[in-house]
């Protein structure tokens, strides 16, 4: 039986009078891609932010392994094995691709007080960066300035940076955003390779990609989960069809 | 504490707070609507005071002894000055980051101070309290309160009310509030956003200048007056939350009370209390009491 | 090859600065010391602004606190011990930085600018309005601290040329320290925080600790500058921590260019020379006393025209040239297409 790496139970988050997420529960297990889909404003991004630790929930509990991480701030969750990629690319545009990953990887080897050692000589963060770049297929771009990459490559770098800290749980917020067909293929291949070692949460709008790669799909509308199951079950769920997939395109 | 003394200090606190509100509302309006952080805002307070000093003898010569006329003249001149300054200088600040705005307005303070020095010198001046506002009203046997200070509070309340009315009940106010949340939308609605910004800026300058002019008889007119009020205004805006008029009002009153009663209760640490208040609020609300929007 | 050439040029420059007092008047030698002290002050702020992305408008507080500390704690009868006094000054300065920084760093952006200004004003108030430091008149330091360990005096910094070299040495040491710091993992983390703090937190960095440490280190270096300032002229007054000082040092960092460490040094030189220029009676005659006017206008113009500062000028021109070339190519393509 696969390990449940992250469990969120009864998560509710309100902003003033608006309930952004209402009683949402989900589990991320190693070796699976769990996609969350829904219309705009369904609360998907809020959900990811709650899981990553950027927004505290009003109600509910989040467990990672044996730890109750509900009150943990984001850096602590990251240290415990959570990685996150953002919908809006959060790379360091003025630095090289390699340095982008190396700085991210440095989080696991901070050596706060070793001021007289140059960062570039840090073996551990350098090898972690190499590994992350190789996984994401960006080894050939290592010395390029990150800001000059194509959009697709930037999104790949975004994923590479979230891999640089050897996370077990990956929260990916619309990694395919703005990508052409070729780049999407590459990204989906990457996700397929990552699946085995990680538990992946995937927020996406590209339905074709979701149905191809997801093992489990949760559908959200207006902050509530209206359906949950494997791709076939979701495809045939009447509620989902009306609420989200809409009348035949 | 004697209840009458308490009342007097409350009146002082309210008066100080209201004056602060006038200046701070201009600052927060300009930042909230136009996204400009204006370090020279305190200079407008100073300019208002010096205008009152310079205009008062002129007006009494030609139009008779009229303090209200002097105040109105100050406000009008300040508004014109603000309108001009926005066109000549501040409109170039919109697309620059806050740091550049800080430094450029810092340079502007030096320019204003020196121009003032060249035009009216560096002496400390007084502005006489008009005859009909002199004297005090008695609150009890021996306790009295200066009428002029009450006048300040009344004028500030009227102006605050006017500001509220303009912002919530007029078309201009609606455009201003809309511009605060979505600048591009305003443009696409066909409203001339440049004119709008110029008007808002003129309003901000006029508010600060009015505060300076009306405070002149009690606080006197001196070179550094702009800077000392500016920093307290920053504290007010930080506590109240940038862009929030409501927050500026509440914060100004808070600062007024803390400062006034602080001087009575803890005279040794009086000046520091306002900053301690700011520190305390920051502990719990790093973005101020009322966030913008 | 280029690095050795640069290193050589730097050594020559340092050598020239070191022998400057022999070729110029006492006034300019003293001015040079003042510039070096302000360069150190500006370098300390550069760590915050250019290194960590934290714009502080209250950095003069640390300069002033250290200056007052050495002046107040020097005994009336004779010189104090440099090391002991410096250690004390730094402890007090860093303590103030730790407390105010922990609070100020809860805010961001424009709030942070205003809060740091307010905290500096708080310190200003203490020395300006209370009896602590002689009020607005300021106080005098009659005996420059001695570099003593036990009975052995390392250097006689009472001698003005020795003091000149000593200040130069402090400046170079601090510059080297900051260069090493920015090259370390700590510095790399600060860079990441400056460019994208969100990503750093997502990777697992507790960014608050990094920012606070940078804030305290910057305060300590500013304290060293303030200490040297007091030792130089023997007179301190509250204006040392007035917000005009905080604005001035921030200007030095930005006009020099916050992208490079040595931009702060350039900024200190340029701004001080600009002040000297506009105050010069030989050029401006009677209007020299109104030097704030051309000075303020110059500041506005320089900030407007040099968004990346002087050290960022090559890059600014390069980008402008590249953009012009792009536009030319685009319009040429349009012409040939139509």
With helix as H, strand as E and coil as C, how does chain B read? CCHHHHHHHHHHHHHHHHHHHHHHHHHHHHHHHHCCCCCCHHHHHHHHHHHHHHHHHHHHHHCCCCHHHHHHHHHHHHHHHHHHHHHHCHHHHCCCCHHHHHHHHHHHHHHHHHHHHHHHCCCCECCCCCHHHCCEEECCCCCEEEHHHHHHHHHHHHHHHHHHHHHHHCHHHHHHHHHHHCHHHHHHCCCCHHHHHHHHHHHHHHHHHHHHHHHHHHHCECCCHHHHHHHHHHHHHHHHCCCCHHHHHHHHHHHHHHHHHHHHHCHHHHHHHHHHHHHHHHHHCCCCCCCCC
Reduce the secondary structure of A52-117 to three states and give it as a string.
HCCCCCCEEEEEECCEECCCCCHHHHHHCCEEEECCCCCCCCCCEHHHHHHHHHHHHCCCCCCCCC
C285 within domain boundaries: no
Q: Which of A75, A99, A113 sits opposite C204 (nearest CB)?
A: A75
Is residue C127 less than 8 Å (CB to CB) from chain B?
no
Contact A114 C185 (CB under 8 A): yes
Strands C147-149 and C152-155: antiparallel
C:188-247 residues touching chain A, CB 8 A cutoff? 188-189, 191-192, 195-196, 198-207, 209-210, 213
Is residue C176 less than 8 Å (CB to CB) from chain A?
no
B43 within domain boundaries: yes
C66 within domain boundaries: yes
Q: How many structural domains compose chain B?
A: 1
CA distance A169 to A166: 9
Residue B196 scores a pLDDT above 90: no
Residue of C nearest to A106 (CA): C185
Q: How far is C186 from chain A (nearest CA, A)?
A: 6
Give me the mean pLDDT over the B10-29 stretch.
93
Residue of B nearest to C300 (CA): B104
Residues 6+ apart with CB under 8 A from C278: C284, C288, C291, C294, C295, C298
Q: Which carries the bigger pLDDT value, residue C264 or residue A208?
A: C264
Disruptive mutation site among A48, A87, A90 for chain C (greatest number of C CBs within 10 Å): A90
Q: How far is A193 from chain C (nearest CA, A)?
A: 21
What pLDDT score does B202 carry? 94
Is residue C53 less than 8 Å (CB to CB) from chain A?
no
> What band does C190 get if pLDDT is binned at 50, 70 and 90?
very high
Residue range C286-308, pLDDT digits in tens:
778 888 999 999 999 999 999 88
Residues of B with CB under 8 A from a CB of C: 31, 37, 39, 92, 96, 98-100, 102-104, 106-111, 113-115, 117-118, 227, 231, 234-235, 237-238, 242, 268, 271-272, 275, 278-279, 282-283, 286-288
What pLDDT score does B183 carry? 63
Q: Which carries the bigger pLDDT value, residue C134 or residue C126?
A: C126
B290 within domain boundaries: no
Chain A residues with CB inside 8 Å of C196's CB?
A: 90-92
Contact B235 C114 (CB under 8 A): yes
Residue range C319-332, pLDDT digits in tens:
888 888 888 888 88
C293 within domain boundaries: no
In percent, the amount of chain C with pLDDT more than 70 equals 99
Range(s) of the domain holding residue B185 = 3-284
Chain C residues with CB inside 8 Å of B286's CB?
A: 106-108, 111
- pTM of the entire structure? 0.91
Range(s) of the domain holding residue C226 = 13-241
Q: How many structural domains compose chain C?
A: 1
DSSP C52: I
Q: Which of C184, C200, C205 sits opposite A115 (nearest CB)?
A: C184
Contact C106 B275 (CB under 8 A): no
Which of A245-249, B72-76, C241-245, C275-279 comes out lowest in average pLDDT?
A: A245-249
What pLDDT score does B49 carry? 93
CATH number for the domain spanning B67: value is 1.10.3470
Residue range A17-61, pLDDT digits in tens:
888 899 999 999 999 999 999 887 778 989 999 999 999 999 999
C30 within domain boundaries: yes
Half-sphere CA count of B237, side-chain side, radius 13 A: 31
Give me the mean pLDDT over the C56-60 stretch.
96
C232 within domain boundaries: yes
Give me the mean pLDDT over the A131-149 stretch.
90
Q: Are C227 and C89 in contact (CB under 8 A)?
A: yes
Residue range C18-45, pLDDT digits in tens:
999 899 998 999 999 999 999 999 999 9
Domain locations in chain A as residue ranges: 1-81+167-249, 90-166
Contact C189 A103 (CB under 8 A): yes
Half-sphere CA count of C268, side-chain side, radius 13 A: 25
Contact A75 C207 (CB under 8 A): yes
Contact A75 C205 (CB under 8 A): yes
Contact B99 C254 (CB under 8 A): yes
Architecture (CATH level 2) of domain A1-81+167-249: 3-Layer(aba) Sandwich (3.40)
Q: How far is B234 from chain C (nearest CA, A)?
A: 6
Residue of A nearest to C198 (CA): A90
Disruptive mutation site among C50, C52, C178, C185 for chain A (greatest number of A CBs within 10 Å): C185
Is residue C113 less than 8 Å (CB to CB) from chain B?
yes
Q: How far is C296 from chain B (nearest CA, A)?
A: 4
Contact C110 B98 (CB under 8 A): yes
Residue of C nearest to B232 (CA): C118
Q: How far from A222 is each of A18, A24, A233, A243, C146, CA to CA, in Å?
A: 10, 11, 21, 10, 72
Q: What was the ipTM of the complex prediction? A: 0.90
Residue of A nearest to C186 (CA): A112
Contact C199 A79 (CB under 8 A): no
Residue range A86-100, pLDDT digits in tens:
988 899 999 999 999
What pLDDT score does A249 carry? 44
Residue B293 scores a pLDDT above 50: no
Chain A residues with CB inside 8 Å of C213's CB?
A: 112
B289 within domain boundaries: no
Q: Which of C104, C113, C297 sits opposite B102 (nearest CB)?
A: C113
Is residue C61 less than 8 Å (CB to CB) from chain B?
no
B182 within domain boundaries: yes
Is it the case that chain B and chain A have 3 or more CB pairs lying under 8 Å apart? no
Q: Which chains touch C (3 or more CB pairs under 8 A)?
A: A, B
Tell me which residue of C210, C202, C106, C50 sits closest to A110, measured CA to CA. Answer: C210
């Amino acid at each position: 039986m696969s390990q449940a790496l992250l469990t969120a139970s009864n998560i509710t988050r309100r902003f003033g009078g608006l309930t952004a997420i209402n009683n949402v529960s989900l589990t991320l297990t190693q070796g699976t891609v769990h996609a969350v889909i829904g219309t705009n404003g369904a609360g998907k991004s809020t959900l990811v932010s709650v899981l990553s630790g950027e927004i505290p929930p009003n109600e509910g509990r989040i467990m990672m392994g044996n730890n109750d991480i509900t009150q943990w701030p984001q850096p602590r969750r990251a240290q415990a094995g959570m990685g996150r990629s953002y919908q809006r690319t959060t790379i360091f545009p003025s630095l090289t691709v390699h340095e982008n990953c190396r700085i991210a990887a440095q989080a696991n080897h901070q050596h706060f007080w070793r001021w007289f050692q140059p960062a570039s000589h840090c073996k551990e963060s350098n090898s972690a960066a190499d590994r992350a770049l190789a996984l994401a297929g960006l080894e050939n771009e290592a010395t390029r300035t990150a800001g000059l990459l194509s959009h697709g490559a930037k999104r790949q770098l975004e994923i590479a940076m979230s891999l640089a800290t050897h996370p077990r749980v990956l929260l990916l917020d619309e990694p395919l955003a703005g990508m052409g067909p070729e780049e999407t293929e590459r990204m989906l291949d990457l996700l397929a390779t990552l699946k085995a070692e990680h538990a992946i949460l995937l927020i996406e709008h590209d339905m074709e990609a979701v149905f191809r790669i997801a093992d489990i799909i949760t559908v959200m509308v207006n902050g509530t989960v209206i359906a949950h199951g494997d791709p076939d079950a979701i495809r045939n769920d009447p509620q989902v069809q009306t609420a989200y997939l809409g009348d035949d395109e | 504490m004697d209840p009458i003394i308490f009342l007097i200090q409350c009146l002082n606190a309210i008066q100080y707070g209201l004056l602060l509100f006038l200046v701070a509302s201009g600052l927060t309006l300009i930042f909230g609507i136009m996204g400009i952080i204006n370090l020279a805002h305190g200079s407008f307070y100073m300019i208002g005071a010096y205008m009152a000093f310079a205009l008062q003898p002129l007006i009494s010569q030609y139009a008779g002894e009229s303090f209200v006329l002097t105040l109105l003249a100050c406000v009008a001149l300040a508004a014109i000055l603000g309108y001009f300054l926005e066109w000549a200088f501040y409109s170039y600040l919109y697309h620059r980051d806050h740091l550049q705005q800080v430094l450029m307005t810092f340079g502007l303070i030096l320019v204003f101070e020196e121009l003032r020095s060249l035009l009216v010198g560096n002496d400390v001046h007084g502005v006489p309290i008009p005859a009909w506002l002199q004297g005090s009203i008695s609150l009890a046997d021996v306790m009295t309160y200066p009428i002029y200070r009450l006048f300040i509070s009344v004028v500030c309340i009227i102006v605050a009310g006017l500001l509220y009315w303009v912002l919530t009940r007029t078309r201009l106010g609606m455009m201003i509030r809309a511009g605060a949340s979505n600048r591009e939308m305003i443009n696409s609605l066909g409203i001339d956003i440049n004119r709008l910004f110029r008007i808002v800026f003129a309003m901000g300058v006029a508010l600060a200048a009015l505060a300076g002019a009306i405070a002149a008889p009690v606080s006197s007119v001196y070179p550094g007056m702009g800077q000392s009020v500016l920093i307290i205004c920053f504290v007010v805006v930080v506590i109240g939350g940038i862009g929030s008029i409501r927050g500026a009002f509440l914060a100004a009153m808070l600062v007024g009370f803390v400062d006034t009663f602080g001087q009575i209760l803890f005279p040794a640490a009086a000046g520091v209390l306002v900053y301690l208040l700011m520190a305390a609020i920051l502990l719990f609300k790093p973005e101020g009491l009322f966030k913008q929007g | 090859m280029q690095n050795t050439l640069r290193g050589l040029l730097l050594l020559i420059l340092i050598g020239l600065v070191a022998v400057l007092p022999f070729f110029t008047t006492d006034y300019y030698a003293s001015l040079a010391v003042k510039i070096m002290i302000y360069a150190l002050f500006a370098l300390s702020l550069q760590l915050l602004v250019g290194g960590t992305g934290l714009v502080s408008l209250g950095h003069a507080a640390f300069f002033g606190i250290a200056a007052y500390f050495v002046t107040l704690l020097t005994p009336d009868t004779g010189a104090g011990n440099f090391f002991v006094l410096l250690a004390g000054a730094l402890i007090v300065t860093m303590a103030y930085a730790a407390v105010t920084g922990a609070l100020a760093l809860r805010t961001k952006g424009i709030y942070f600018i205003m809060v740091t200004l307010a905290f500096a004003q708080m310190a200003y108030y203490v020395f300006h309005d209370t009896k602590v430091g002689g009020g607005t008149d300021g106080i005098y330091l009659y005996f420059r601290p001695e570099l003593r360990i036990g009975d052995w005096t390392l250097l006689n910094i009472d001698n003005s040329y020795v003091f000149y070299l000593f200040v130069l040495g402090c400046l170079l040491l601090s510059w080297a320290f900051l260069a090493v710091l920015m090259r370390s993992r700590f510095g790399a983390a600060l860079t990441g925080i400056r460019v994208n703090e969100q990503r750093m937190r997502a990777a697992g960095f507790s960014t608050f600790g990094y920012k606070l440490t940078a804030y305290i280190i910057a305060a300590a270096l500013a304290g060293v500058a303030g200490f040297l300032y007091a030792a130089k002229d023997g007179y301190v007054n509250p204006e040392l921590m007035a917000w005009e000082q905080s604005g001035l040092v921030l200007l030095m960092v930005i006009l020099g260019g916050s992208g490079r460490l040595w931009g702060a040094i350039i900024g200190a030189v340029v701004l001080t020379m600009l002040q000297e220029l506009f105050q010069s009676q030989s050029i401006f005659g009677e209007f020299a006393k109104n030097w704030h006017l051309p000075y303020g206008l110059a500041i506005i113009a320089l900030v407007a025209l040099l968004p990346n500062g002087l050290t960022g000028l090559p890059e600014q021109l390069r980008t402008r040239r590249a953009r012009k070339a792009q536009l030319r190519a685009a319009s040429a393509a349009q012409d040939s297409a139509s």
